[in-house]
A and B are shown apart, each in its own frame.
Chain A
Amino acid sequence: MKAFITQENNKIFEIAVGVFFLLLFWQIISMVVGNNVLFPSPLATIEKFFEILQRPDIFKIFSSTIIRVAIGLILAFFFAIFLGIASIYIPIIEIMFRPLISAIKAMPNISIIVQIIIWLGTLRAPSAVSFLVVFPLLYSAVIEGIKNVDESLLEMANLYRVSSNSQLKNIYLPSVISYLAASFGAAVGLAVKMVIAAEYLSHTPSSIGERIYFSRIYFDMSGVMAWTIVAIITSLVLEVPSKMITKHFSRWKDEK
C-alpha cells in the first residue's frame, strides 16, 4: 500500500512538473511576443476557457464533436475486426483491401477531408473522415494480430479438435486485441484531430471545429487556444473508455 501511494504520488508529481514547465514556457513566449492578441498568455487563455464553459451551448458543442468522433471510431473498430476475421477464412479479402489501405494511408489528410466534405456534406463529413483515417490503422493492427497468432497454439487447438468458433474466440481474438489495444490510443487522438479539422473546414454547426474557425476569423487567438484545450479534453474523455476496455482484455498481464 505504501509503495502504491508513493508510486501514485510520483506520477502526480511528474504531471505537475510537466504542466508547470509547459505554462512557464508558454508565459515566456507570450512575454517575448508582447502582444496578447497575437499570442495570448496562459492566464488570458484560461479566462477565455472558463468563459467558454459558461456558454449555454457548450455541452451541445462538446458532445456533438465527441459523438462524431465516436461514430467514426466505433464503425472503424467493428469493420476492422469483421474484415480482419473474414480474411482468416477468405484470404483474398486481405489481398483485395491491401491497395486501398495503402492508398488511404498515403493520401494527404486534407485531400480526404475535402473530398468527403464535397461528397457527404457538412454534417456527415466529420464522422466519415474519422472512419476513413482510423480504419486503415485499426485494420492493419487486426491483420498484424492475425498474422502473428502463435502457430503452436493453433496446432494444439487443432489436435484437440477445438472448433473454429472457439479458436476464433479464444486464440485469434485475444491476439488481435493485444495488437488493437496498442493502436487504439493513437487512433483516438488521430480521430479527434481529423474530426475537428473536418468540422473547421466544413463549418459543421455546433462543433469545436466551427468554434475554432469563428475564433480565427474574429482574430480571437485566446479563443482558438481555449477551444484547443476543449479539444484536448475531448481526446482525454474518449481515451478513458478505450483504456478501460484494453485493461479488461489484458487483465491477465497484470496478474503477479
Chain B
Amino acid sequence: MYIINNLTRCFGDQEILKNVNARFANGKIITILGPSGCGKTTLLRVLAGLDIDYTGDLIGFEQANSFVFQQARLLPWKTVYENIEIVLESLESKNRNKRVLDALSMVELGHISHMYPKQLSGGMQQRVSIARAFAYPSKLMFLDEPFQSLDFDLKQRLMKLLLPLWSKENYTVFLVTHDVHVAAILGDSIAIMGKNKGEFIEIIQNNVSREKRLLGLSEEVISLENKIYQFISQ
C-alpha cells in the first residue's frame, strides 16, 4: 500500500501541494491528471524522492524506484547500451548484459544498442529512457509526461507496449499526464488535480479491464473520458 498523508509542499509563500491525502494499492497504475501548473510534476518528484522539502508523511515510497523524465536524460557520450548499463551497478556483471538487452528488446530497440543518443530521434531516446527504467531493479515506476514529445502513432504504440509489461512484472506506476486519453487508457486509478487547488479533487477508479482498454476506444472508455473532462472543467 502506498499512503500519502497531509502532504504539503511550498515554494516560498506559495503552497503548490496542500494537504494531499490518498491511498493506492500495490501493483496499480495511477495516472495523475490536471491542468498545467496544478502541481502534478511537483507531486511526482516528491513521491519519487527527488524533492524532499515537504511536510507530511509518505508510506511505501522509500524503496528504490525508476523514473521516466519528460526529457530522456541520456548521457550523450555513452552508447544506448552504456546508458542503461550505468544504472545497473548493483547487479553482478553477468546479469547486466541480459537485463540491458531484454529491456531494449521490450521497447523494440534491440538493434540500436551501439548507437549514441544524438543518432536517435526524440521518440527513440524516450524509449531508451523507458528501457532504462525497466532494466533498473525496482517495482515502482514514475513517469512524468512520457509521451509529451511523441506523435499520436508512437504514443499509441508505446501505451500498447507498456501496459502488458507493467502487468506482467506487477509494477506500481505513477504517471503524470495532461492527456485525458492517456489517463483513461493506462490508469487503474485516475487522480485528478484541480487548478490552484494543490490536491486531488477526485480519484476515479477505472472499471474497464487492462486487456479491454488496449483494444482501443470502447464506449466505456469514452464515457470514462467524459467523466474525467467534467471534473477537469470544474
Chain B positions within 8 Å of A185 at CB level = none
Assuming the contacts A155-B50, A156-B69, asked whether A255 and B118 have C-beta atoms less than 8 A apart, the reply is yes
Q: What sequence of 0s and 1s flags, for each residue 149-166 of chain A, a beta carbon within 8 Å of any chain B beta carbon?
A: 000110111011111001
How many Å lie between the Cα of A255 and that of B79 in the bound state?
A: 11
The contact size tier of chain B is 20 to 34
Min distance, Cβ A154 to any Cβ of chain B, angstroms: 10
Q: Is B165 an interface residue (CB 8 A)?
A: no
Pick the interface stretch among B25-33, B70-78, B215-223.
B70-78
Assuming the contacts A152-B71, A170-B86, asked whether A160 and B76 have C-beta atoms less than 8 A apart, the reply is no
Residue of B nearest to A249 (CB): B77
Q: Is A52 an interface residue (CB 8 A)?
A: no
Chain A positions within 8 Å of B76 at CB level = 252
B72-95 interface with A by 8 A CB criterion: 73, 75-78, 86-87, 89-90
Chain A positions within 8 Å of B115 at CB level = 255
B87 touches A160 (CB 8 A): yes
Q: What sequence of 0s and 1s flags, for each residue 23-44 of chain B, a beta carbon within 8 Å of any chain A beta carbon?
A: 0000000000000000000000
Q: Helix, strand, loop or mixed for chain A's interface? A: helix
Residue of B nearest to A161 (CB): B64
Q: Is B170 an interface residue (CB 8 A)?
A: no
How many Å lie between the Cα of A141 and that of B132 in the bound state?
A: 32
How many Å lie between the Cα of A170 and that of B76 in the bound state?
A: 10
How many Å lie between the Cα of A19 and that of B75 in the bound state?
A: 42
A122-170 interface with B by 8 A CB criterion: 152-153, 155-157, 159-163, 166, 170
Partner of A159, one of B49, B86, B116: B49
B77 touches A174 (CB 8 A): yes
How many Å lie between the Cα of A156 and that of B75 in the bound state?
A: 10
B51-107 interface with A by 8 A CB criterion: 64-67, 69, 71, 73, 75-78, 86-87, 89-90
Chain B positions within 8 Å of A253 at CB level = 118
A171 touches B71 (CB 8 A): no
Q: Is B136 an interface residue (CB 8 A)?
A: yes
Min distance, Cβ B125 to any Cβ of chain A, angstroms: 13
Chain A positions within 8 Å of B69 at CB level = 152, 156
Chain B positions within 8 Å of A157 at CB level = 86-87
Partner of A162, one of B65, B73, B89: B89
A166 touches B86 (CB 8 A): yes
Min distance, Cβ B48 to any Cβ of chain A, angstroms: 7
Q: Is B226 an interface residue (CB 8 A)?
A: no
A256 touches B119 (CB 8 A): yes
Chain A positions within 8 Å of B49 at CB level = 159
B97-140 interface with A by 8 A CB criterion: 115-116, 118-119, 132, 136
Min distance, Cβ B222 to any Cβ of chain A, angstroms: 36
Q: What sequence of 0s and 1s flags, for each residue 217-256 of chain A, a beta carbon within 8 Å of any chain B beta carbon?
A: 0000000000000000000000000000000001011011
A162 touches B67 (CB 8 A): no
How many Å lie between the Cα of A152 and that of B77 in the bound state?
A: 15
B67 touches A163 (CB 8 A): no
A163 touches B118 (CB 8 A): no
Chain A positions within 8 Å of B78 at CB level = 170, 252
Chain B positions within 8 Å of A153 at CB level = 73, 75
A163-194 interface with B by 8 A CB criterion: 163, 166, 170-171, 174
Min distance, Cβ A57 to any Cβ of chain B, angstroms: 45
B50 touches A159 (CB 8 A): yes
Could you list which residues of chain A lie within 8 angstroms of chain B, going by C-beta atoms?
Answer: 152-153, 155-157, 159-163, 166, 170-171, 174, 250, 252-253, 255-256
- 25 interchain pairs, CB-CB under 8 A: A152-B69, A152-B73, A155-B50, A155-B73, A156-B67, A156-B69, A156-B73, A159-B49, A159-B65, A159-B66, A159-B67, A160-B87, A161-B64, A161-B87, A161-B90, A166-B86, A166-B89, A170-B78, A171-B75, A250-B77, A252-B76, A252-B116, A253-B118, A255-B119, A256-B119
Could you list which residues of chain B lie within 8 angstroms of chain A, going by C-beta atoms?
Answer: 48-50, 64-67, 69, 71, 73, 75-78, 86-87, 89-90, 115-116, 118-119, 132, 136
- Extra contacts, 15 of them, besides A153-B75, A159-B50, A166-B86 (Cβ < 8 A), are A156-B67, A156-B69, A157-B86, A159-B48, A160-B66, A160-B86, A161-B64, A162-B87, A170-B78, A174-B75, A174-B77, A250-B77, A252-B77, A252-B78, A256-B119
